[in-house]
Amino acid sequence: MITPELIAKHGITPEEYEMIRGILGRDPNITELGIFSVMWSEHCSYKNSRPELKKFPTTGEGILVKAGEENAGVIDIGDGYAVAFKIESHNHPSAVEPFQGAATGVGGIIRDIFTMGARPIFLLNSLRFGDIRGDSVQARTNRRLFEGVVSGIAHYGNCIGIPTVGGEVYFDNSYNGNPLVNALCLGVLRHDQIRRGHATGAGNPVFYVGAKTGRDGLAGAAFASRDLTEESKNDRPAVQVGDPFMEKILIEACLELFAHPDAVVGVQDMGAAGLTCSTCETASRADMGIEIDLAKVPQREKGMTPYETMLSESQERMLIIVRKGREQVVRDIFAKWDLDAAEIGMVTEDGIMRVRDHGEIVAEIPAKRLADEAPIYFREASEPTPAPNFVLPQVPPVLASEALLRLLAAPSIASKRWVYEQYDHMVRVGTVVVPGSDAAVTRIPIETPEGLKYKHLASSVDCNGHYCALDPYVGGKIAVAEAARNLACSGARPLGTTDNLNFGNPHKPENFWQLRRAVEGVAEACRHFNAPVTGGNVSLYNQSPAGAIDPTPTVAMVGIIDDPAHITTQYFKGAGDEIWLVGALGEGLGGSHYAAEICGRKEGPCPVIDLAAESAVHAVVLEAIRQGLVKSAHDCSEGGLAVALAECCISGPSATVGATVE
């Protein structure tokens, strides 16, 4: 029986429930209510942030698949090749179980990439935790979360054989209890290999491939058709477990299948909301219907209800729309790789997502209205009271030299070797610049009429949460500028951007104001650097015990280095080289790590940024690199000029060098 409490427990408002009754022309049954609740969640529908996301620049001459069209955007890199890349978050699962939460986050983003027909090439991640120093219970918890997340990412990436070549790790108490785990994957494909998630052609069979379905991720689901006794409660794991070994063979099997374009009509990975999301989105994109029977879905546990099967978030599963008559191609390939491949239904013309269980209808919903017409909310925004301005104390609390040492020891600035040495960052023999420099540089093998050639891609992920807390608009611009700066220092020009918007509860006007202003800042800077947004992710309701986390619009940028001779790293190469500062030094210390670490004050104002001056600096650096004048290039970010100089001296692989500066 559908009661008001049950509707509320599904996160559906009374108004939304009326919309559902309007769409169906009747009351929904429990399975349909579950389907609407997951498809109209913020995570799937972006109902609170969608109006803001429209402000991102998503077009450009290299864009082959635009943001929002498919699972990931695709950008041309020349010679008939292209790259698909995207960043996604797994913040809340990682707070529950750091190892599996982070591991399944990596597994999920990899699926979004190879579902586009691309061979995954590398991974990046951006991690944020509360402070790990000291012996307080909170610090110990943060260390446990930090260690669990890193080893979870290492486990999944290392086992599946995709190198994690770069990223960033930040520590700030605004992330206490709510770590941020943003993972990026980039894949390579030829233009003719692009696969889309469309269920076209009535009568075409719908295949379910990959791991069996269990009750994974259902602990969050508010309802079980059986009463939720204590006993049945614990057979609902609170956590999805990733199986990287299974996903590796799923990649090989899928890419082998995609080499038969005549057999494959559409592909979609089962991410959040598993079977529900993949079926209705593929149908909706093609303005078609889809009909499946849950009795044919491979299941890992006995007696699963339709509600549980449709909402299960078991990992490593894909939905494939096959051309009628070519079913055997799919069965043979998946048999070779010892994977399940079950025909569970077919495409229909009536635009309805119809779900049966042993023939009996358990859900019947118009696919388009479910997938694309979630309610859109225009939340109220109001500017929070700005933080006080940081006034440099007359007498500096410590000697400059000691301040530098303390800054270099601060976890956010200190070397991340302990992290990236747990990631296999060399597999696929493509990593030209290993972690520890401004941007990772990876070579991409491509076949050309003249034989094997290499493209060189640079990638970096950045965001300074302090700045965004002080001024989300300027902070958003700086996040993009810093990513572009890192690319320029490596000799690369920007191609495209993907962003992961990590914010607090949108129902609080101050949080929503931060989201809006950050999006506007990121959008303006992406337009300025001609690096269109190819897609990304929104994660809201990120709260620490003290309130919303610092607004964190993580920005990842991918660029291309036209000539391998231009590949540049950040560390000084040898004595006698001159050191040049390009661009002027700012004045204030508002929002600086000096203010926070040494003076213990997280205060403003946020540093100013002049995008025109910024791109002029990038142009000068790139031109100098192209003329062979540059041995190394590094950007000033957290800790300013002093830390930047120190990093240039000590971050080289072999002997360290010194530097004298007037």
Partner 1 sequence: MKVGILQFPGSNCDQDMFHVCSQVMGLQTTYLWHKNTSLESADLIILPGGFSYGDYLRCGAIARFSPIMRSVIDHAKDGGLVLGVCNGFQILCESGLLPGALVRNQNLKFICKPISVKVCNTNSPATLLAKTDSVLTIPIAHGEGNYQADDSTLADLETGGQVVLRYCDASGTTSSISNPNGSRNNIAGICSAMGNVVGMMPHPERCSESALGCSDGLVVFESYLECFSKSAALA
Partner 2 sequence: NALMKARITITPKKSILDPQGEAVKQAIHHLDMPCVQEVRVGKYIELDIDGSDLAKTQEKLETICRDLLSNPVVEDYRLDLQA
| Active-site annotation, residues | 43, 90
Q: Which residue number, 47 or 143, has a Cβ lying nearer to partner 1?
A: 143
Contact 626, 566 (CB under 8 A): yes
- In the block, tokens 């049945």 appear at 232
Q: What is the DSSP string of 4-53?
A: HHHHHHTT--HHHHHHHHHHHTS---HHHHHHHHHHTSHHHH-TTTHHHH
191 forms part of the interface with partner 2 (CB under 8 A): no
Q: In the β-sheet with 552-561, what is the strand arrangement from edge to edge?
A: 431-433, 440-448, 451-462, 552-561, 493-502, 533-539
- Which backbone phi and psi does 630 adopt, to 5 degrees? -105, 130
| Binding partner of residue 389 among partner 2, partner 1, none, CB cut-off 5 to 8 Å per kind | none
| Of 214, 172, 119, 276, nearest in space to 638 by CA | 172
Of 231 and 578, the one with the shorter C-beta distance to partner 2 is: 231
Residue by residue, DSSP assigns 293-316 as EGGGS-BSSTT--HHHHHH---SS
Q: Does 238 bind partner 2 (CB under 8 A)?
A: yes
Rule CB under 8 A: say whether 120 interacts with partner 2.
Answer: no
Q: Which is nearer to partner 2, 72 or 150 (CB)?
A: 150
Q: Which tokens belong to 524?
A: 């303006």
Q: Considering beta carbons, is residue 421 or 623 the nearer one to partner 1?
A: 421
Q: Of these, 160, 211, 362, 598, which contacts partner 2 (CB under 8 A)? A: 211
| 227 binds, options partner 1, partner 2, none, Cβ within 5 to 8 A by partner type | none
The residue from 239, 342, 620, 642 that contacts partner 2 (CB under 8 A) is: 239
Residue 301 touches which of partner 2, partner 1, none (CB < 5 to 8 A by kind)?
partner 2
Cα–Cα distance, 547 to 274 (Å, whole number)? 31
Under rule CB under 8 A, residue 93 binds partner 1: no
Stretch that binds partner 1, among 133-141, 241-249, 393-401, 580-588 (CB under 8 A): 241-249
Residue 432 as a binder of partner 1 (CB under 8 A): the answer is yes
Q: Which of residues 265-324 bind partner 2 (CB under 8 A)?
A: 300-301, 314-315
CA angle 4, 8, 13 (to 5 degrees): 95
> What order do you get walking across the sheet with 119-129 strand by strand?
63-65, 73-78, 81-89, 180-190, 119-129, 164-171
**What's phi and psi for 408, nearest 5 deg?**
-65, -25
Which position among 202, 342, 434, 650 is part of the footprint of partner 1 (CB under 8 A)?
434
Beta carbon of residue 235, minimum distance to partner 2 (angstroms, whole number): 4
Sole binder of partner 2 in the list 2, 241, 272, 329 (CB under 8 A): 241
Nearer Cβ to partner 2 (141/200): 141
Give the helix/strand (H/E) hosting 452: strand 451-462
Taking each helix axis as running N to C, give the angle between helix 30-39 and helix 274-285, from 0 to 180 degrees, rounded to the nearest 10.
70
The reply on whether position 202 binds partner 1 by CB under 8 A is no
Write out the residues near partner 1 by the rule CB under 8 A. Answer: 151, 154, 158-161, 243-246, 248-249, 252, 337-338, 420-429, 431-432, 434, 443, 445, 452, 454, 564, 653
Write out the residues near partner 2 by the rule CB under 8 A. Answer: 96-97, 100, 211, 214-216, 234-241, 243, 245-246, 300-301, 314-315
